């Protein structure tokens, strides 16, 4: 492992934990403002294509807040590792700029691939209001 990366990994994982937690709280707070800012995205897509292989007990488990949180943290840490190993050296600028540019990746994957595959349209236009789409964009930017 590159020494530069191995030195940054513990701090990156800690920063990732803080970013995922802030993102989670921000997404869950959307309902306080009567904004639907998410629709299940990647988890919903995975379940759509795997539910025939899962028992009813496992399917019930996937609908719990605890499972959603676990999935959210796992995917968040996967993005942190992707940033550290693939993008940290490739992106220009300081940490704020790099994080902002990187935050576009999950937002674009979700908005251009995942949500259309769920029938929700580009960036969720068939499911989310404009406020919800903007809120979700801000949540992704906060994570980055």
User: How far apart are the two ends of the chain, measured CA to CA in Å?
Assistant: 24
For the record, the structure tokens of 46 come out as 């995975």
Rounded-to-integer distance, Cα 74 and Cα 23, Å: 13
DSSP designation for 103: H
Which residues are CB-neighbours of 119 under 8 A, at least 6 positions away? 126
Could you please report the per-residue DSSP string of 32-80? GGT------HHHHHHHHHHGGGS-HHHHHHTTSHHHHHHHHHHHHHHHH
Three-state SS for 9? helix
The pTM of the full predicted model, rounded to 2 decimals, is 0.84
Show pLDDT as tens, one digit a residue, over the chain (144 residues): 556 566 778 888 999 999 999 999 999 899 999 998 876 688 888 888 888 888 888 888 888 989 999 999 999 999 999 988 888 878 888 888 888 899 999 899 999 999 999 999 999 899 889 999 999 999 999 998
């Amino acid at each position: 492992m590159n020494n530069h990366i191995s030195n940054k990994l513990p701090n990156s994982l800690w920063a990732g934990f803080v970013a995922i937690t802030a993102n989670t709280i921000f997404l869950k707070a959307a309902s306080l403002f009567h904004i639907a800012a998410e629709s299940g995205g990647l988890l919903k897509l995975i379940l759509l294509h795997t539910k025939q292989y899962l028992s009813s007990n496992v399917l019930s488990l996937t609908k719990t807040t605890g499972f959603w949180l676990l999935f959210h943290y796992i995917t968040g840490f996967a993005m942190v590792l992707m940033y550290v190993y693939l993008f940290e050296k490739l992106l220009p600028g300081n940490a704020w700029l790099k994080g902002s540019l990187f935050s576009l990746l999950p937002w674009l994957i979700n908005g251009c691939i995942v949500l259309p595959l769920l029938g929700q349209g580009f960036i969720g236009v068939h499911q989310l209001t404009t406020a919800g789409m903007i809120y979700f964009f801000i949540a992704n930017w906060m994570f980055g």
